[in-house]
Structures are given as C-alpha cells and as structure tokens.
A and B are shown apart, each in its own frame.
Chain A
C-alpha cells in the first residue's frame, strides 16, 4: 500500500469522526435496522475490529522502540530488523484502525443516534478536539518514525529512538483519553447520596473521565496491548519462518518468534492481576455487577475465560519446552528441589491464606512473599538443601502438572448453571468444597500459572547460558504454537471485551442511559462465541494480508535487500 493510499484511508477516518460529531448535533436522527445481525451485533463487530487494530498499533510501538534501543545498545542488528519489520506492519494496520474507527462512529450513529448524540455531547471536547488532535499528532510522528529509519542511523539513532518514545507517549495519552468515555459507560461518575442524573448534569469533563474504572481500564488495556503486540509479532515470525527459503532466514525468524513470545508472555504475567483490579473496581462501584459477572448471566463467559487463559499459559510453556529441546547441553541444567516444592504447594497454601486474609489486605502478602522466596533464602541458610536439585526436564513436567491443576481450580464453577436463579443441588459444588469456586482459590490458581511460567523462563535462561542454542532448528510444531497463541489471545480479548460491554446490562451507560431496544438482553455464550470467532478470523485475514504485503512481497523484490540494517556504531 502506497503512502497516498494510507493517507487517504486515514483522512477518511478523520473526516468520519468530524462528520459524526457534526451529525450528532442533528436533532431526532432516524434509526436504521441492520439486517441479519441486528444493530447491537453490527456495532459489536465494528467496535471489536477497531479495538483489535488499535490494540496492535498502540501495543507494538512500545516494544518496537525497546527492541530498537536493544539493537543500538547490544550492537545486534536482529533487534533493529525486528523493530523495523513490526513497525512496517504497524503502519499498514494504522490505516485499518482509522478506517474501522470511522466506520464504528458511522454505525453507532446510524443505529443508536439518540444515545450517540448524548455521549458525544458529554465528551464534546474529547471527540471534537483532543482526540482528533492526538490522532493527527500520532499519524505525523508514526510516519516520521517509519520514514526516518534508514536516514537516522549511526549518530542520529538516539534521535530516532527519542522519536519512538514520543510516538509511545502520544499513543498512550490517546488510549487514556478515549478510555474516558469508554469507562464512563461502565461506571459513570457518581457521588454518595446524590442523584446520579443530577450529578452528571453538573459534573465537569474531568469528573466524567476520572471515573471508577478509568485507571484500571487504562492499565488493563496498556498491558493487554503489549501482550497482544508480542503475540502478533510471534505470528509474523511464524508466517515468515514457514515461508523462509534458507537457514539464515529460518534462524532469524526462529529468534524473532522467541522474542515475540517472550514479550507476549512477559506482559501476560501481569494481565490476570490487571483484570482482577478492573473487576474489583467494577464491583466496588456497584456490588450487583459482581454476581452478574461471576454467578449469574455472565458466569459461563468467565468459565470460558478460565479455559482460554489456561490454554494460553499451557501453550506459552509448551513453546519454552520446544525451545529448550533444541538447546545443546540442556540436560546439565538443574534447579533446586525447593523450587519444585514451592510450585506444588503454592495453589493450596495460597488458597488457604487468601481465604483468611483476602486480597487486597496487606497481610495477604505475608505468606506469599516468604513462600516465593523460600527456595533462594532456604538454599542459602541451609546449603545442603540448596544443593538438592532436579533436572530441568523434571521441573518443567511438574510445572505443566501445576498449570493443569491451576487451570482446573480456575475453571471449577460454583454450579453448572448459567444463572444463580436456576441453581439446584444436583448442579452445585458441595458446601464443604465451595471454596474452590471463590476468589481466593481463583487468585491462587492465577498466581500458580504466573509462578511456574516465571520458573520455566528462569530455567530457559540458564539453559541458554550453559548450553548452545541452535536458532532455526526448533521443532516445526512451535510455529503452530505461536499462531495458536496469537489466535487465542485475540479470541480472549474479544470475549472479555464482550463481557466489559455486557456488564452494563440493559443500559448504554450503566444506571444512567437505558437501552430501550429489544436487543438489550444478555446473549448466550454460544452466540457470542460465533461472533468472536468470526471477528477474530476477519482480523486474522487482514493481518495475514498485511504481513504478506509488507514483508513477503517487499522481500521478494529484485532490489537490494533492506533486511540488513546496521545499528549505530556498527562497522
């Protein structure tokens, strides 16, 4: 895609936004009816696609600039090449973000004109001034960053990296700004004892933006975007590895897949806790949201989320397993038996501890911290204990067992019913075991998944240091694991995005602006899964096309290859 074509797409996006803001001022705009999908699902499709593209273009530049900096610092051209290849795909997807963003506003205005007008009027300064300005600023800086890659090398590299940092600052501010109206729809500002309607009428823009779920949503999306960007980088690497024509290409894309997975998993470790923080704030805002999510209409969505998170952790650890298989000398790598014991004890001890001292009670950390540090501390205090070791193979197998157990705890429901109203004894956990379905057990399961993944990466790091890694010789199945991770991450994003929207129940803006349409009910999980899968596939097709267009096609051009960037200082 040429620059003018990309610019045209983005211009369309901007014009759509301005046009929509103007259209929103028209009184009593008529409503359209989308055939087959209905209005709500039509908005869902476009919004979800827009969020997926936006997540990538906001998440990818964060590690792109880090990768560029690492290439500069380590004098390793692979990092610079990774950064440039990812930013190439980002530029294409940036246009798609603008296009779907414009489409989103159009569809929203056509289907819910009264509500959209109301929302735009409440956030007029954001929609009409701040957001477009940030969008224009981001476009300029992104293009500058991309087009100065080659010319700002050597002595000018630091300047180029600074530009990348600026791009990320603008991107993050843009995310935080648009999260204002989004989070407002979930948790509109309120004051104790005051009528919410009257309070909102008198509230300032900042009051509306700085609502209960704004900060948690910012953090959740920021970390989620990096996770997402990392897994998409893995996807890019997998595609390129599959199509690589020689060993050096395979070696590079094997390495790129590893880095992408590392970024994705690294950020993923924080994601359960960010999600917990967001749901905690939602429940704190209105306690009736909590049962709606966890015990009533949306409870099975969370079962599916548990299954997805478990699969993602299994797959990312399986990738480490496959990566370690091709390290020569891996059999010499050992780890303290205490680490394995902590791994096994963790879900059980922490379920008990967190039942007595629920999170976020500071005492809830009183057992966790010593337990996690026990292998290091005990190993030093009692050296013979520290010398008791097991092989990396045994440790990773125990880790897999604990991932399965952690996932089993996460997925065990209070009852096999989609609503608490229909709970009967034959479908309910026995009361002595009901703790398995409560938050302390779920938190300990999440922490177990995180802990074993960290231990596996520590092992991997030791294996690299003690052995010899043979890039390009990884089991071919690993490429499918990378693709699986990207697909599953996108699917889970879609699922949780649906949950975040659905917790508004039959309101466009919770407790404030009711949705009077016939579609304001909670859809079934099966129906949602069809659409989430469809949206994921559409996104995949576009991303796959963008990867082929930017990397495969440009690679096969006859001109001198540009895949040999030289970082600053390289002779």
Chain B
C-alpha cells in the first residue's frame, strides 16, 4: 500500500469532497423537510467520513521514545478525556429539575408509609405545633393576658380545604397522566408515544370510569382492538395497583373520562377477563 505522494494535497482534496458531499446531504434533507438540526447532523456525518478517509491515508507516525512518548501519551489521555466530556455535553441534556418535583409527588404516599417518613412527619407536626404555640403566646402577651401556654387542641382551626383537596379531580388526573408518564406509550392531543399503546383522545366515549380503573389496575382485563401483539407481550405494566394510591387512580380515571374527541380513532376496548 503506497503512501500518497503528498498528504497535504490529499487532505485538501478529501476535505473539499467531504464538504461537497455534506452540502449535498443538507440539500437533500432540506428538500425532504428534515428539521435544520438533522440537516446539520448529516453534514457532521459527512465530515466524520472525511476524517476517517484522511486518517486512512495518513503517513506513518515516527517512533517516539522516552519522555517524548510519555508526553504524547499524557496529551492523548487529556485529549480523549476532553473529547468525551465535551461530546457528551453537546447532546441535549435532561433537566433533573423536571423530575425532582415529580419524584417527590410520586413517592409522597410511600414516604409517609415508611418508618423514615413517619418520623419526618412527626417532626414536621411537632415543629408546626411549637410555632403555633409561640404565636399564641405572643398574641396573649400583646393583649396583656396570661402568659401560660393555652392548650392548642381546642384553638386549632379546622384545616382549610385546599384547591387540590376540594376535588379538582380532573386537574389532579391530568397531573397523574404526566407523573406516571402515560404519554410515553399513549398519544394524546397529537403528543406522546406512538406505537406501544392506543391513542386516548376518545377513550371517554368508549369506556366507563370503572372499566378504565379496572384496566389500569389489571392490564390483562381489557385489550385495545388492533393491539393484540402488545396485549400478548404484556406491554402495559402490571404495577399501577402498587405504585398508585386509590385516589390517584380515581383522579386519572376522572381525567380520562373527559377525553371525548370522536375525531380521533381511539381503538375499541375489548373485555378480556
């Protein structure tokens, strides 16, 4: 395998060819309506190919000895480390903040049930009671009344009913849809997973609330028409009866019962059990 008479000439030739090829890729992908980022990606692939073919015809590297080889080795490790860290950082990054709140909500019930959770809850309640006692004491002092702590039990106002507790069940259900990441398998309003599960836009017209609940808690109980293969492969996880609280399932079902868009062809559910 004879080496090229002039490596530099060969590099220039290959770079020009690579750029032309990359431009052709960009042109084709543009004509095919690929988004800009994908057009850029194909250009990068052309450049990668160019780099590979330049390397193939590169002249032999002279032998390095002693301190020179050690320095080359260290530089090589440094470059590799930089390239791998830099390369990984160039990809889109998932924002952990998106998940933190979700995890806290998902694990809330389990945390409360755990020993650690019970202890933490007691501490929080003790702290709240202590703060309440302090504020009552302060108020009594400003009124010139007795300074002894009043019993907190009778004075406590019944807890205000929050917007969530008041039962905006549909909003809570929508939140459950996001928390349980149902969108990964089920398309809704044109967004989300494509082939693992049926689109859900019209499910409210096809199933009663109790039937939906049955399906969520026991995925084998119902099957969507046309999803025989997915049903046989048990694609829908049999875990929600343990991961979700009953009230969360009810909320999710309430939300799904509102999905009544007949324009979307949600497949017909078939009773299996």
Contact = CB atoms under 8 A, between A and B. Distances in A.
29 contacts: A242-B65, A287-B196, A287-B235, A297-B99, A300-B91, A300-B92, A307-B87, A314-B52, A331-B1, A397-B56, A408-B48, A416-B35, A417-B92, A419-B94, A421-B181, A426-B35, A426-B36, A426-B37, A429-B38, A476-B64, A483-B73, A483-B76, A488-B80, A506-B106, A511-B243, A523-B96, A528-B88, A529-B84, A529-B89
A400 B53 contact: yes
A318 interface: yes
A325 B1 contact: yes
Contacts of B87: 304, 307, 529
Name the residue in A284, A393, A432, A475 with the highest tally of chain B Cβ atoms < 10 Å from its Cβ. Answer: A475
B44 to A, nearest CB: 9
Nearest to B69: A242
A192 B238 contact: yes
Contacts of B106: 506
B93 to A, nearest CB: 4
Contacts of B95: 418, 524
A20 to B, nearest CB: 21
A272 B78 CA distance: 28
Contact of A530 (B48, B85, B196): B85
B130 interface: no
Interface residues on B, range: 35 or more
Interface stretch (B109-117, B151-159, B164-172, B256-264): B109-117
Contacts of B92: 300, 416-418
A487 B77 contact: yes
A196 B55 CA distance: 55
B52 A487 contact: no
Provide the main secondary structure of the chain B interface.
Answer: helix
Contact of A400 (B52, B94, B192): B52
A518 B34 CA distance: 40
A525 B184 contact: no
B143 interface: no
A428 interface: yes
A401 B103 CA distance: 45
A149 interface: no
B163 interface: no
Interface string A535-553: 0110010000000000000
A477 B60 CA distance: 7
Contact of A428 (B1, B35, B45, B242): B35
Contact of B61 (A475, A514, A520, A525): A475
B26 to A, nearest CB: 14
A107 B240 CA distance: 33
Nearest to B93: A524
A560 interface: no
A430 B32 contact: yes
A522 B49 contact: no
A532 B92 CA distance: 18
Nearest to B238: A192
Interface in A315-330: 318, 321, 324-325, 330
A121 interface: no
Interface residues of A, number: 82
Given A400-B56, A476-B60, A520-B103, 17 more contacts: A287-B185, A295-B193, A400-B52, A403-B52, A417-B92, A418-B91, A418-B95, A420-B183, A420-B193, A421-B98, A425-B35, A426-B36, A426-B37, A428-B35, A477-B60, A483-B76, A522-B96
Interface in A405-462: 407-408, 412, 416-421, 423, 425-430, 432-433
Interface of A: 114, 192-193, 195-197, 242-243, 284, 286-288, 290-292, 295-297, 300, 303-304, 307, 314, 318, 321, 324-325, 330-331, 393, 397, 400-401, 403-404, 407-408, 412, 416-421, 423, 425-430, 432-433, 475-477, 480, 483-484, 487-488, 491, 506, 511, 514, 516, 518, 520-526, 528-530, 532-533, 536-537, 540
B35 A516 contact: no
A537 B192 CA distance: 40
B9 interface: no
B11 interface: no
Name the residue in B35, B49, B92 with the highest tally of chain A Cβ atoms < 10 Å from its Cβ. Answer: B92
B138 interface: no
B133 to A, nearest CB: 29
Nearest to A524: B93
B33 interface: yes
A430 B91 contact: no
Given A284-B233, A404-B52, A425-B35, A521 B81 contact: no
Contacts of B35: 416, 425-428, 430
Contacts of A518: 100
Interface string B54-77: 011010111111000100110011
A290 B114 CA distance: 29
B58 A477 contact: yes
A516 B178 CA distance: 20
B34 A433 contact: yes
Contact of A242 (B36, B64, B183): B64
Contacts of A430: 32-35
Contacts of A520: 103
A331 B85 CA distance: 40
